[in-house]
Amino acid sequence: MIEDLKKKFLNRMPIKGAMIFDFFSPGIPYVIKNSGCEFVIYDMEHGGLTLDKFKELSLISKGIGLNPMIRIPEISYNYISRSLDLGAHGIMIPMVNDQKEVLEIVKFSKYPPLGRRGAGFGFAHNQYKKENPIEVMEQANKTLINIIQIENKTGLENLEEIAKIKDVDCLWVGHFDLSNFLKVPGQFESKLYLDSINTIVKIGKKYQKSLGIMVSTRQEMNFYSNLGFNVIAVGTEMSLLTDKISNLIKNEG
């Protein structure tokens, strides 16, 4: 499962998924899978997700053929290595500023000799199987997906240096934060924002990196897909549910 997803990231193929910020029930992976998604990103930056709850969700996700990923709140060995041990197929890191931070992320997420991730086996990450540790480490180093968020001016300025790093699998635009730091909050049609998006697309293509973003409407999905974004997540689940209920109520009778 993870091998196929990694291949799609490396080949910049279209991939659809969802981001979950608040609805961390055991049934949510089934809802996401039944909706046709290949992956789900559980958010730890803004919501109340704990690592223990993520372990539960990651195991359920894997069991039904849904790739579990997590957005951690900051660059930290503790968050990165523990999230991976708890079953994350990919790590999304917010507010990445420069190449130095990316190299830290790579170091924390890879086993030696590529990094310094600590070794523990027979846990959630290899579904409690008794397997050859060397093969587990080699497989993990090969299939891990590192998603780097570009969502501030510094990250944008250092984008090319970030994209040059081999183990960056995806450049993910945090669109609202990016507009905030560009001093055009929520103005997604502004020239400054669109020029920045076009720069990210250009650099992503130059270095053969997948491009990701979260959308909440079909119009947004089509817009960013046409620009070259191949990894699309829908969200937020709170907004989508509110819209659905609101539309039903308004259209009653």
Residue pLDDT, tens place only, 56-85? 999 999 999 999 999 999 999 999 999 999
C-alpha to C-alpha distances, 59 to 35, 56, 71, 139, 181, nearest whole angstrom: 19, 5, 17, 18, 36
CATH fold of 2-250: TIM Barrel (3.20.20)
Residue pLDDT, tens place only, 83-136? 999 999 999 999 999 999 999 999 999 999 999 999 999 999 998 999 999 999
165 SS3 class: coil
45 pLDDT band, cuts 50/70/90, is very high
Chain centroid to CA 223: 20
Residue pLDDT, tens place only, 123-172? 999 989 999 999 999 999 999 999 999 999 999 999 999 999 999 999 99
> At residue 154, what are phi and psi to the nearest 5 degrees?
-65, -45
Which phi-psi region, left, alpha or beta, contains residue 12 (left: φ > 0; alpha: ψ -120 to 50)?
A: left
Domain ranges of the chain: 2-250
